[in-house]
Amino acid sequence: MGLENILYGFKGNFKRTLISSAFLGSLLIGCGSDGPTQPPPPPNPPPRPPTQPQNHPPVINYSPKTQCDENSFYEDIIHATDPNGDPLSYSVEGLSWLSVSHNIVYGNCPEVSRNTSFPVKIKVSDGKLSAEQSYNLTVKNLFNTYVLTTNDINNLLQVTPNTLAFSQPTSFFPGDVIGAGISSKTPHGLLRQVEAATGDGKTLYTFNPSLEQIIKKASFSFSKSLSPQNIQSINGLQGVSPFTTTNLSGFNFCVNLNNVVLYDRDGKQNTKDDQVIANGEICFNTGFSFDIDIDDFTLKYLKFQNKTKEVADITIGSNLLGIAAKKEVKITEFKFSPFVIGYLPTLIPIPLVVTPKIEVNIGIDPTQVNPLGVRVMQEADLEAWLAYQGSWSIGKNFTNNFDFSIFNPTINGDLKVYAGPKLEMLLYDIAGPVAGANGKLRLSHQADCEWKLYGGFEAYIGIIMELFSKKIAAHSEKVFDYEEPLAEKCGTTPPPPTTGEKILFTSTRDGNAEVYMMSPDGSSQQNLTRHLAHDYEASWSPDKSKIVFVSERDGNPEIYTMKLDGTDLKRLTLSSGNSNNIDRYPGWSSNGQEIVFYSTRNGNDELFLMNADGTNQRKVNISFGSHGQPKWCGNQIVFSSTLSGGNGGLEIYKVNRDGTGLQRLTNNPAVDTEPSCSKDGTKVSFISNRAGSSYDILVMNADGSNPTNLSNTTGDDYWPSWSPDGTKIAYTFGSIGRTASDIYVMNADGSNKTRITTRVSGSNNDPVWSP
């Protein structure tokens, strides 16, 4: 028998023995007690097996990113927990362009034509159970890029800065970017973003986007030297001849200047003495380069560089007494054919079109100069650049040689003259980089010197950022400004403006009457009044520092005084309240204290006196009649008048300042007028038609005796004026009617008649010899 059976048998016998003993004991207790017998306690229940823990699914507890821009990188972190602490795995379903690494969802959002929603399902699992979260990821359309097709170009009716009009409906929508290359209807290329469209799609309202807005990532690098073969058109002022040079060679661009007007005070090209004139030539070579780097729709780097080699030989000349305002004159302009420098890396590549333009400018800053004659010869080689990389920086390389010549000027203030080319690079003919280089000459008036002359060179460079970035402002800097002293005139006092004898006269050579001054031989003719209105009938102050004259600049003839340089202009009479009032024929007394003149302010032709400053205006009391053309004769006044009445013509009279002592000097049926008295008061010249239909110059004694005809010509001789020593008479001679005349000088006896002006147009008349 095996051990197992033995043990089993033993257990059974032992169990039975225990039960029997217990039973017997209970009986014995029951028989010997007073109460009922208690039952035995129940046996202990068997132990339960251990409980297995319950498994719960993962919990996703985050809000996913539901938007991204097209062509941008999408990244999102999944936040999830597992109640049982089990490790989690992550996955994404629905989009091939999204991936998961650990708990990060990432991918490149695609290009879309419109805002587009994509279903996304995120799944998180602990290996037993899983959790899911579904959402829509919207990819935003930033823009769509399109290049106009040949059919689109054919349907294009009009291009304005803000609209595109088509003959047929289009399918462009707001936000679309439209580009075009060079064509007959888009000669400078095209880059526009649609802002709105009409219902039929035929008219698009557009604006110019920046490269930064439409390009995610791109790099450009381009350089070019400009040549005449690229020129599309040339414009220039009168006297400018492009590509014409007499002395300079080896340059792509040359501009010859032949009497080019830089400044014209009265705006009339046929007047020369109020102009600043340039002669000479400017030759140059120029080229450019620029680099662009855009990353993540942000301009990271931009550099524009200009190289210019220039040779100039220019003479600036003028007899101006003053320049009213700063003037910069574009003497010529070269417009170049547009060309493509690259393609924008948009979904559909768009040509990047640049149109170069070169201007040649000459500028003058205001000053008081008389006269001006400067020749500047310069060679310059300049390289300048402007760069942006978070901030602006500039750089330069420069060499030059300078020479000059100058003829002695009289100057009050500073004069700056500069000349040189200006290069513009227009993207889509709108805006872009610009660079300029100017040779300059500065003439300065200083307290210790009559003048100092400085020569130098200046260069500037800038970029209008409109088509590069809307966030970065335009920037321009002067990269170079160099000058050095060339010459000076110090320690001397300039001579007064009227040394020796001078003659004032009136000329209509410019189309209007102006007061001029010249030497008695007709040389050094100079316009003093320089005004668009008529100025005439001038007379000298005794010290020759001022003139008194008639001007119509305020509407009708009034009397003014001014210095010879045009300064200190003062209006003395004020009769313009009535347009019929006239104040004329002013003359300064020999002591400088009074001015005699003619006026109609009272409705009659009368003589008046006033102080030299215009105060105390009063009538010279003379009897009835018409009186005019007064001139001083010592302390008396000679004049013409109709006092005689009976003869029906004008006669010459003399009167004291207060109207007393009236004396008739001529007595002839003819017209005797325009008297002029010699400085010593012994002779009176006048004009008369007593010899025929024309007027001659006559001379008589101060008492009217011995009248003698000095000219006796077939034309009109008029407005005689005596030289200070009484030996000569200046006068006007011209056709009958005084429509074409010049000024002559003759001896006091009528001999040696000499013409001292030669008119080209208009007339020269009314000479007045200086005291």
Can you spell out the DSSP letters for 640-678?
EE-TT-TT-S-EEEEE-TTS-S-EE----SS-EEEEEE-
Res 520: pLDDT:
93
CA atoms 266, 268, 273, 275: torsion sign:
positive
364 lies in a domain?
yes
CA dihedral 567, 571, 742, 666 (to 10 degrees): -140
Query: Diameter of the chain by CA atoms?
Result: 204
Q: What is the CA radius of gyration of the chain?
A: 52
446 lies in a domain?
no
Say whether pLDDT at 172 is over 80.
Answer: yes
Q: How far is CA 754 from CA 457, 521, 675, 731, 767, in A?
A: 50, 9, 21, 10, 14
Domain CATH for 717 = 2.120.10.30
28 lies in a domain?
no
- Going by pLDDT thresholds of 50, 70 and 90, the confidence category of residue 329 is confident
Ramachandran angles phi, psi of 652, nearest 5°: -95, 135
Half-sphere exposure of 453 (CA within 13 A, CB side): 21
602 in the same domain as 738: yes
pLDDT tens string 54-101: 889 999 998 999 999 887 899 999 999 999 989 999 999 989 999 999
Strand partners, 383: 307, 397
CB 382 within 8 A of CB 243: no
631 in the same domain as 701: yes
Closest CA relative to residue 425, chosen from 243, 219, 188, 233: 188
* DSSP code, position 40: P
Spatial distance between the Cα atoms of 36 and 31, rounded to a whole number of angstroms:
10
313 lies in a domain?
yes
Residue of 712 and 300 predicted with greater confidence: 300
Q: Is 698 exposed, middle or buried (0-12, 13-18, 19+ CB in 10 A)?
A: buried
- Going by pLDDT thresholds of 50, 70 and 90, the confidence category of residue 33 is very low
Ramachandran angles phi, psi of 331, nearest 5°: -80, -25
178 in the same domain as 110: no
193 in the same domain as 91: no
Domain that holds residue 733: 503-769
Res 701: pLDDT:
95
677 in the same domain as 601: yes
Domain CATH for 82 = 2.60.40.10
151 in the same domain as 130: no
Say whether pLDDT at 635 is over 70.
Answer: yes
User: Using omega within 30 degrees of 0 as the cis cutoff, is the peptide bond preceding 494 cis?
Assistant: no
Query: Based on the structure, what is the number of domains in the chain?
Result: 4
Res 38: pLDDT:
64
149 in the same domain as 136: no
Name the domain boundary from 411, 446, 479.
479
579 lies in a domain?
yes
Residues written for the chain: 771
Average pLDDT along the chain = 81
CB 683 within 8 A of CB 703: no
Q: Is 542 exposed, middle or buried (0-12, 13-18, 19+ CB in 10 A)?
A: middle
161 in the same domain as 93: no
Give the CA angle between residues 318, 323, 324 to the nearest 5°: 155
Closest CA relative to residue 329, chosen from 292, 277, 378: 277
- Say whether 723 sits in a helix, a strand or coil: coil
Residue of 203 and 346 predicted with greater confidence: 203
40: Cα separation from own chain's centroid: 122
Q: How many helices (H) and strands (E) does the chain have?
A: 3, 56
716 lies in a domain?
yes
CB 137 within 8 A of CB 127: no
Average pLDDT over residues 201-222: 85
196 in the same domain as 328: no
Burial 82-111 (b: 16+ CB within 10 A, else e): beeeeebebebeebeebebeebebebebee
179 lies in a domain?
yes
CA atoms 501, 503, 509, 515: torsion sign:
positive
Res 75: pLDDT:
96
Average pLDDT over residues 383-410: 72
644 in the same domain as 564: yes
Name the domain boundary from 163, 178, 209.
209
132 in the same domain as 71: yes
Res 658: pLDDT:
86
115 in the same domain as 177: no
Say whether pLDDT at 17 is over 70.
Answer: no
Helix or strand (DSSP H, E) at 512: none
231 lies in a domain?
yes
Name the domain boundary from 140, 156, 189.
140
Pairing of strands 177-180, 145-147: parallel
